[in-house]
Amino acid sequence: MSSVSPIQIPSRLPLLLTHEGVLLPGSTMRTSVDSARNLQLVRSRLLKGTSLQSTILGVIPNTPDPASDAQDLPPLHRIGTAALAVQVVGSNWPKPHYTLLITGLCRFQITQVVREKPYPVAEVEQLDRLEEFPNTCKTREELGELSEQFYKYAVQILDAVSLEERFKMTIPLLVRQIEGLKLLQKTRKHKQDDDKRVIAIRPMRRITHVPGALADEDEDEDNDDIVMLEKKIRTSSMPEQAHKVCVKEIKRLKKMPQSMPEYALTRNYLELMVELPWNKSTTDRLDIRAARVLLDNDHYAMEKLKKRVLEYLAVRQLKNNLKGPILCFVGPPGVGKTSVGRSVAKTLGREFHRIALGGVCDQSDIRGHRRTYVGSMPGRIINGLKTVGVNNPVFLLDEVDKLGKSLQGDPAAALLEVLDPEQNHNFTDHYLNVAFDLSQVLFIATANTTASIPPALLDRMEIIQVPGYTQEEKIEIAHRHLIPKQLEQHGLTPQQIQIPQVTTLDIITRYTREAGVRSLDRKLGAICRAVAVKVAEGQHREAKLDRPDVAEGEGCKEHLLEDGKSDPVSDTTDLALPPEMPILIDFHALKDILGPPMYEMEVSERLSQPGVAIGLAWTPLGGEIMFVEASRMDGEGQLTLTGQLGNVMKESAHLAISWLRSNAKKYHLTNASGSFDLLENTDIHLHFPAGAVTKDGPSAGVTIATCLASLFSGRLVRSDVAMTGEITLRGLVLPVGGIKDKALAAHRAGLKRVIIPQRNEKDLEEIPANVRQDLSFITASCLDEVLNAAFDGGFTVKARPGLLNSKL
């Protein structure tokens, strides 16, 4: 063994006081510099010095906190370590500080402190000579084999000057460390042997942790599930492309540890793939006669809709591979659009699944999320197919007109591929990332209006209008479907309650005003609840009268309590005879149960003075009658419009007043001062009641013109007439939409005459026969004909020819 020359250090060293540990020769550590003395030392010696001698410091362990900037130098430990500053890192935030990387060279002893400020400097005596003892080589080599780390020892080891004294202190510590490392090595060896034994038993299993009894059981179950999943993939009837993807994913799953998040995602994906009905379908029932009977039993009226379903069945019977049509039922709420979809599925013998689209604003709800996202899942179309388990169900896309749009995409645009017969045979969900055939699915969409459906999506659907019901149809629906359903829900029988058709008509006309039957259904439910109370009370009274402890003749006596006070629950009224069955619901019973009528016939009262006319409006809820009121007062010729009117309706008002001003002499219309200039010193106010409801559209033009003509002529508009139509500046009447719904609204309101544009005469064929029989339809091509039909005796001095008054 060759000797090592001692390291020579300067005889005078700057002192770095540290409290973060003890630096030994040969070791390296980082220390923070944030006290004033140490900061001055770093700036003066390390940052400005250029020689090697300037980077050698004397490191002294300091027990007090060196951050304290006391004026006096604290007591110094007499033994320190000469160190070489290897790296200096500094920062000014939040306050100036440095971090030093220092390596210990040798130890020294302080002989004299020669300077205290701005940082301490001392004369030192080097202590280390670095000779080695031969008997320590074996211990040092054994430690080097078992550990690759440097260890820090206590301060007393630093104080040991002679090598023999130092070895006496350090060798017991080394022996203890060696024993600990040997024990750790032995434990690791046992663990490796156990792992090899488990791998030999289960060569297909990858061990990720020390196995235990419960863990083995769980892993066995997971392994069995993977084997079953692989078997399902081999025996499934999925297309070739989907099968290739599944085989690739199952291979990845076998190599994947179960603790990885992607393990669960991949397994869920494969389970979905084998559960999808790639080739599983139901057989359609193609008996058209039975289908017609079933549709008639489930739904009254709706002839056009039922005709379209029967047409599909007939073509399906002749051609087996017919692609499913894309139907869209458009109509007001409560007319049975959703229930018709369920009946169509029942008629065909198919599975039914409803997808509510109201408020959906994320295209991922339709096409799914990509599997790169956490929590990804398939879209509602694929998820619905998984739920029903067949590839040819009836899908009801409910409220397709209420789709939203957001930063997550446009779901209406995502539906374009779903509802396109030329594309949906190859529909690709983002989650599946393989094509699925939707061509055999019968899609039925529902909407209240087509105005909010994007044109591209509307073009892909076959629109079938489902209008509101007439009063006669509502009566039939109530007695065929609604009343039996309510009796069953409330535990009543026809022997306990009877609702005549006259009473049903009173409910329809006086307590509801709607195109559908939802409010009617609720009113019938309220009646059944009131009758249920009476029936239950009658059974309670019968039970009391049948009690043996109630003597004969005492049934009408007041039941007394033990303290002599009367029982308010067991009063004489409680022991009265039960009501006679069945309970007949007449108008007086309606008033007691439902309260006063909500809708009275106020038409004649509202038209008792000039300046009022009745218009017909279309809303997503069905047709409605609309009153228009006008008044005039002294002013500056201004026109005021109120009632939440849209821009189109405001323009119709200006058109009407301009046409009347230009024809004032013809009809002898004057203002309050007798001038033919209707706006001279006169202001006009037009109001549309129900001011909280927004109104717009061009069809109120003829109503506004008639209302203003009544105001300036002082004549009353007929109280049984309503009208609709758009006007031009020349007085022409243009066609409008929603004639059937508007006619039904006039019929519900009890009106007798309806004025419509002449070009809408073709729409009268869609109106039910009983409504056409009760209403007199006047077709008009210009405002002259409208005014002649709206006033008794006509509006001109001489009746104008060409007026068509048809009693249809």
Annotated catalytic residue, options 35, 364, 652, 699:
699
The DSSP code sequence of 306-343 is HHHHHHHHHHHHH-TTPPPPEEEEE--TTSSHHHHHHH
Helix (H/G/I), strand (E/B), else coil: 8? coil
Q: Is 608 a catalytic residue?
A: no
Q: What's the CA gap between 629 and 693, in Å, rounded?
A: 16
CB within 8 Å of 515: residues ≥ 6 apart:
331, 332, 333, 334, 335, 467, 468, 469, 621, 622, 623, 741, 744
Residue reference for tokens 């004294």 = 165
Percent helix, strand and coil across the chain, each rounded to 5? 40, 20, 40
Amino acid identity at 327: L
Annotated catalytic residue, options 306, 474, 695, 742:
742
Amino acid identity at 42: V
CA–CA–CA angle 490, 748, 450 (5° rounding)? 90
- Go through the chain and tell me how many residues it has: 808
| Residue 152 marked as a ligand binder | no
| Cα dihedral 180, 185, 188, 189 in deg (nearest 10) | -140
Angle formed by the axes of helices 783-790 and 701-713, to 10°?
60
Q: What's the CA gap between 134 and 140, in Å, rounded?
A: 10
CB within 8 Å of 107: residues ≥ 6 apart:
25, 79, 80, 81, 82, 126, 127, 128, 158
CB within 8 Å of 789: residues ≥ 6 apart:
721, 753, 755, 778, 780, 803, 805
Q: Which of 410, 416, 403 is nearest to 456 (CA)?
A: 416
DSSP state of 511: I
CA 183 from centroid of its chain's CA atoms = 60
Q: What's the CA gap between 752 and 720, in Å, rounded?
A: 5
| Residue 331 marked as a ligand binder | yes
Q: Determine contact, residues 474/520, Cβ cutoff 8 Å.
A: yes
| Residue 332 marked as a ligand binder | yes
Q: What's the CA gap between 468 and 724, in Å, rounded?
A: 18
| Residue 336 marked as a ligand binder | yes
Strands (E), 334-399: 352-356, 394-398
- 292-301: long-range contacts at Cβ-Cβ below 8 A with a sequence spacing of 24 or more? 294/343, 294/346, 294/347, 295/343, 295/347, 298/339, 298/343, 298/346, 299/336, 299/339, 299/340, 299/343, 300/473, 300/476, 300/477, 300/480, 300/481, 301/469, 301/473, 301/476, 301/477
The torsion region of residue 797 among left (phi > 0), alpha (psi -120 to 50) and beta comes to alpha
Q: How many other CB atoms sit within 10 Å of the CB of residue 506?
A: 18
| Residue 333 marked as a ligand binder | yes
Q: What's the CA gap between 33 and 119, in Å, rounded?
A: 13
Q: Is 742 a catalytic residue?
A: yes
| Residue 358 marked as a ligand binder | no
CA 42 from centroid of its chain's CA atoms = 63
Q: How far is CA 737 from CA 102, 324, 401, 580, 693, in A?
A: 91, 30, 19, 52, 20
Whether omega for the bond prior to residue 582 falls within 30 degrees of 0, making it cis, is: yes
- Residues known to be catalytic: 699, 742
**Annotated binding site: which residue ranges?**
331-338
**Annotated binding site for ATP: which residue ranges?**
331-338
